[in-house]
Amino acid sequence: MDSEIIIIPIIMGTLFIGLPWLILHHVTKWKTAATLSNDDERMLGDMHDMARRLEERLDTVERLVASENADWEPRRLDHEGDNYNANNIARLERNR
């Protein structure tokens, strides 16, 4: 009889306090993990800057090679204005 008196409050406490606390705790953690931290945003900005600089370097190399060799054509699509017309796509497919 005494063990029943102790077990019932433990079960009720677990069901009505412990379980909701556990669920709400994890929901809060999931919501905060879904957003970008300041470090993540800074890293993305740095990566964007690095990609832009690398693209500028590649453009410079392509211009230098094109100025030295008249027969050479760049294999990349023109990224200025996203020039994805049929002629550029056909030229790229021929050069594969």
- Do 28 and 53 sit in the same domain of this protein? no
- Do 56 and 44 sit in the same domain of this protein? yes
Residue 45 pLDDT grade (very low, low, confident, very high; cuts 50, 70, 90): very high
- Do 53 and 6 sit in the same domain of this protein? no
- Do 20 and 50 sit in the same domain of this protein? no
Residue 66 pLDDT grade (very low, low, confident, very high; cuts 50, 70, 90): confident
Residue 78 pLDDT grade (very low, low, confident, very high; cuts 50, 70, 90): low
Q: Which residue has the tokens 């063990």?
A: 3
Q: Give the integer Cα–Cα distance in Å for 59 and 53.
A: 10
Structural domain that includes position 44: 37-96
Read off the pTM.
0.46
Strands, E assignment, the chain: none
- Do 16 and 43 sit in the same domain of this protein? no
How many domains does the chain contain in total? 2
- Do 26 and 13 sit in the same domain of this protein? yes
